Amino acid sequence: MKFQLGILGATGYIGSPYRKEIRECPDDARIVALNARRQDRLQAAASEDGAELFSDDWRQVVNHPDVNTVLICTPDALHHDALLACAECGAHVFCEKPIGIDARQAWQMWSAYRDRDRAHYVPFWTRYFDAFRRAREIVQAGTLGEVRAFVYRWQNPRPAAMPFTWRDDADISSAGSIADVGSHSYDTLRWILGEEAKRVLTHADVITPAKPDLGEVDLEEALTWGNAHAAGDATRTRKGTAFDYASISIEMESGVVGTLVLSHAPFFRKGLAPELELHGSDASLSVDRITGDVRLLRPDSSLETLAVLPDEGLGNRFKKYVFPALRERADGQSSEHPGLEDGYRVQLFTDAAARSARQGEWVELARVGAESQ
């Protein structure tokens, strides 16, 4: 099966590297149609990809007669309608996380594909890093005994002078850092531990000072400008409204407890401490994606380095993971790769965490639709 691709959000920070990887897989896929809001970039991308159609109207891409697979790489608030349109016309779909603006949307999106012979994929890339795969193997082997607690730090600092983008806008972003990096970290936890969260308690805020306001710039432009300028170089500034910091206490269904610390603020610098700690009745484990170190600490204080697997990237993610996963699901097979159900489960968590931040109290993860009956 060859994938005939339509790509929504084709020229942005996410869409552009995806397109490059896809171009490297001519036996697996062909880029047919592109959508983006900026015509100058869109025309250049279409020429680069050899696309038949380029348009600022995503419906033209989804409904193109030659397109059988759609990549949705647009801002969070724009996923829902496009994905339901893909389901209606029978296309396979790749949807960026968070898949919707809330869990109700995510439920509708998963339901649209759950009982069809159309394939779906959600890119929770952290599952594929060797250090985290090794950690999961260790937990599943019972080396830690009964896992009882965890600490997970996901800090993705942005330049202090980085301008305002849609990711800072609560009307477009699904819960800011809670949904952006929190979705990756929570999916990694549930994948390693094999269970879901029961309830959460969140403190979240916007702790980055007002940002330069350069108008509608994308993340790549914002990062480039922010790395080249000082915070006071812009005359106009705009305070973000989407959370850029969160500390989330979590109780899992089995009683395992832990904390997530999430941040895009410029002064939370990664690399100082391991990202993930897992503490069990027999041993504790730390995982550092930056260095690749996986360390096991036993009750007698003996420390063993089990693997040193530095983060060298994931290679061509479409060749290695996305296309095989889509083929499995298109053939009616189960797949170990993340899909829309995982997107929905993660959205339940991010919804509860954001609601807890607003209410200042513990919030249980809700269930939506038929699942709640």
pLDDT at 363: 97
pLDDT tier at 370 (50, 70, 90 boundaries)?
A: low
Q: What is the mean pLDDT of residues 23-43?
A: 94
- CB of 256 closer than 8 Å to CB of 188: no
Buried b / exposed e across 203-239, counting CB within 10 Å, b at 16+? ebebebeebbeeeebbbebbbebbeebebeebeeeee
Q: Which residues, listed in sequence order, are joined to residue 277 by a DSSP beta bridge?
A: 151, 286
pLDDT at 27 over 60: yes
pLDDT at 323: 98
Residues 365 and 252: their CA atoms lie apart, in Å, by 10
Q: Write the pLDDT tens digit of every residue in 87-123.
A: 999 999 999 999 999 999 999 999 999 988 899 999 9
* Closest of 197, 61, 70 to residue 121, by C-alpha: 70
pTM: 0.93
% of the chain exceeding 90 in pLDDT: 78
Residues 54 and 184: their CA atoms lie apart, in Å, by 31
Residue identified by tokens 């800072």 is: 168
| Least-confidence region, from 126-130, 203-207, 211-215, 352-356 | 211-215
pLDDT at 85 over 70: yes
Domain 126-308 has CATH 3.40.50.800: no
Could you tell me how far CA 16 lies from the centroid of its own chain? Answer: 16
Looking at per-residue pLDDT, the higher value among 12 and 234 belongs to 12
pLDDT tier at 333 (50, 70, 90 boundaries)?
A: very high
Domain residue spans of the chain:
3-125+315-335, 126-308
Residue identified by tokens 């930056």 is: 290
- CB of 173 closer than 8 Å to CB of 242: yes
Cis peptide before 163 (omega within 30 of 0): no
Domain 3-125+315-335 has CATH 3.40.50.720: yes
pLDDT at 66 over 60: yes
Helix, strand, coil % in the chain, rounded to nearest 5: 35, 25, 40
Residues 44 and 346: their CA atoms lie apart, in Å, by 35
95 secondary structure, DSSP code: E
pLDDT at 373 over 60: no
294 phi and psi angles, rounded to 5 deg: -125, 115
Q: Round the average pLDDT of the chain to a whole number and report it.
A: 93
Q: How many helices (H) and strands (E) in the chain?
A: 11, 17
Q: What is the mean pLDDT of residues 189-208?
A: 97
DSSP H helices, 115-255, are 130-140, 176-193, 219-228
pLDDT at 231 over 80: no
pLDDT at 369: 65
Q: Write the pLDDT tens digit of every residue in 258-290.
A: 999 999 998 888 878 889 999 999 999 999 988
pLDDT at 117: 84
